[in-house]
Structure 1
Amino acid sequence: MKHILLVENHSIVRLATLFIIRDVLPAVTSWETGNFPDALQIVSTRKLDLILLDINIPDGEGFQMIAKIRRLQPEVTILIFSAIDEDIYALHYLKAGANGFLSKNSSTEEIRKAIAGVIAHGRYMSDAVQQALLRGQAVPEAQEVNPLTTLSLRELEVMDLMLQGKWTKEIATFLNITGSSVSTYKVRIFEKLGVNTVIELYQRVAALRDWE
């Protein structure tokens, strides 16, 4: 019997995903929630084998969520299941401690493969992520194609909070860093993306995320 938690704030997505999970793992006990505080409550009271974790959920904390889950259950398998850009974010989430990254744009068969893979082997990377990893190792300059891929994990966190309209003090409190550190990250982000204002940042990121 496997014990799985699905953290996803859209009920229709939860329903469809649980249907696939039960198809792959007939002997399964599952819990579901649409926000991160409730997810932590479940993690603190239930021994879990797998957590499917969306990123853009109410009261979500980005990369910090993985660390908070691991403090409660160090050995649990975490599969990120999100619509955020796989090419840009997947490797960062893997480095942050996730066991896999699955795009919501994946086919039903790919979702089955990912769930079975992390349960059996504790790891899952899509073909796209594997190729991105190989490109990064073999041809570092390939990162120049999309400047977002040059941002560090912390820079991505700061950038995403800026795009949510948060001010320096709010970002510092959320990430538990100093205001001067936030300002330093902002300078680096602006330099790497070639922008001078937050408005230009919005426009630049919007264009890059539609990159083909």
Structure 2
Amino acid sequence: MSPRKDPIRFFFGRVWSAFIACIILNPIPYPFVKPLLMMFSILIADDHSIVRHGVQHLLKSFLPSVVISEAETFKKALSLLEQQRFDLAILDIHIPGGDNVAMISKLQAKQADLKVLIFSSYEERLYAMTFMQAGADGYLSKDASNQEFERAVKTILANHKYVSQHVKEESLHQVMSSGGTYTPAIQSLSKREREIAQLLLTGKSTSEIAILLNVHISTVSTHKSNLFEKLHIQNMLQLSSLFKVNQRDESE
């Protein structure tokens, strides 16, 4: 006589068998299984070793099987992309050899399907949408919590875009107030405002600019005030950084 089967163990055994069969025969309806079984390859491109170490530690806390490579310069990041395939590049804006939106197209020229998360200390509201429009899949401040970092990485690996709630709300406000289109702040400058900004960046004073443009000093001051307000900046350092980041290669 065969031993009596435990009904609870028998029930869960049948459920488990059915679950495994579903995964093997039809894995598509179970997207939550894929991250558990898939090994991701991620490139961390940042010139600060302590940041690379911290990011690596965070990644391994929620992606135990992740394969990680590091680059301390943009040139090395490009070189690594020539040698192997990556699912995601976590990129700092202020990396030697980079510093502008042209980095995105250069990375994706090496690997067309590469996902890019900008991870930067640069202020989100000034830079996030600029990099998103340039082709990045996400933008995250280095001030973000560990939980938000995990959420950003998982969102992008699941083929979605990621920006913080604050950036979403500000972008929506801009779209609503401009009649349904989003225009990066730097592109909203008038021709005269852009001209004055460029002259300011060469070190010219308001009085020197007034002489060059044959206008009153108060006119230059008004344009300067307006462009600072449009760009949400307070000083020349921010103006210089913003124009540098938005610079694209002439060959593009």
After TM superposition, the score normalised by the length of structure 2 is 0.59
CA displacement, residues 138-162 of structure 1 (integer Å, 9 cap, x when unaligned): 1239xxxxxxx62129x99xx79x8
Native 8 Å contact 1:118 1:124 kept in 2: yes
RMSD: 3.2
* Structure 1 unmatched runs, 5+: 142-148, 167-188, 195-199, 207-212
Mapped partners of 1:191, 1:43: distance in 2: 43
Return the letter of the residue paired with 1:55. Answer: I
Mapped partners of 2:55, 2:101: distance in 1: 22
* Structure 2 unmatched runs, 5+: 1-38, 204-222, 229-233, 241-252
1:132 aligns with: 170
Aligned-pair distance for 1:192?
5.1
Q: Which of 150, 168, 185 is the equivalent residue of 1:150?
A: 185
1:7 aligns with: 45
Mapped partners of 1:192, 1:151: distance in 2: 12
Q: Secondary structure of the residue that 1:101 maps to in structure 2? A: strand
Q: Which of 111, 115, 126 is the equivalent residue of 1:77?
A: 115
Instruction: Confirm or deny that 1:193 pairs with 2:231.
Output: no
1:110 aligns with: 148
Native 8 Å contact 1:51 1:78 kept in 2: yes
Return the letter of the residue paired with 1:193. Answer: L
Mapped partners of 1:57, 1:204: distance in 2: 17
Q: Secondary structure of the residue that 2:129 maps to in structure 1? A: helix
Aligned length: 169
After TM superposition, the score normalised by the length of structure 1 is 0.70
Q: Secondary structure of the residue that 2:158 maps to in structure 1? A: helix
Mapped partners of 2:237, 2:151: distance in 1: 36
Distance 1:131 1:63, change over 3 A: same
Aligned-pair distance for 1:132?
1.6
Q: Which of 52, 74, 85 is the equivalent residue of 2:90?
A: 52
The structure with the larger Rg is 2
1:21 aligns with: 59
Aligned-pair distance for 1:11?
0.9
Mapped partners of 1:11, 1:108: distance in 2: 18
Q: Which of 92, 103, 121 is the equivalent residue of 2:159?
A: 121
Q: Which runs of 4+ in 1 moved over 3 A?
A: 189-192, 203-206
Distance 1:203 1:55, change over 3 A: closer
Aligned-pair distance for 1:85?
1.2
Mapped partners of 1:203, 1:119: distance in 2: 35
